[in-house]
Amino acid sequence: MLSAKSVFQEILDHDESFRLFCSIAASGESQGGWENARIAALVPPSERDLAPKISRHGADEDKHGRIFNALMRKRGLEPVPVPPETDYTMLLEQQGIGLAHEKLKADQPLTVQDVITYLAHSRVTEQRAADQMVMLRKFFADHPQVGNAVKMISHDEDNHLAYTHEELLRFAADGHGPYIQRTLRACALAEIRVYRDVSLATMAHMGGILGWPTAKSAVLAAGIDAMYAYERLGGWRRMVSLKTPDRRDALGGPATPAPELA
pLDDT (0 to 100) of residue 262:
41
Residues of the chain with pLDDT under 70: 1, 253-262
Distance (Å, whole) CA 210 – CA 217: 11
pLDDT (0 to 100) of residue 28:
95
The type of residue at 178 is: P
36, containing H or E segment: helix 15-42
pLDDT (0 to 100) of residue 183:
97
pTM exceeds 0.85, yes or no: yes
Instruction: Note whether 132 and 28 are within 8 A (CB).
Output: no
| Phi-psi map region of 96: left, alpha, beta (phi>0 left; psi -120 to 50 alpha) | left
pLDDT (0 to 100) of residue 4:
86
Q: Summarize pLDDT for 135-180 with one digit per residue, the tens.
A: 999 999 999 889 999 999 999 999 999 999 999 999 999 999 999 9
Distance (Å, whole) CA 187 – CA 120: 7
Q: Domains in the chain, start-ordered, CATH in brackets?
A: 4-239 (1.20.1260.10)
pLDDT (0 to 100) of residue 254:
67
Distance (Å, whole) CA 51 – CA 44: 9
Q: Summarize pLDDT for 205-224 with one digit per residue, the tens.
A: 999 999 999 999 999 999 99
pLDDT (0 to 100) of residue 3:
86
Distance (Å, whole) CA 227 – CA 261: 33
Q: Which of 126, 135, 132 is nearest to 251 (CA)?
A: 126
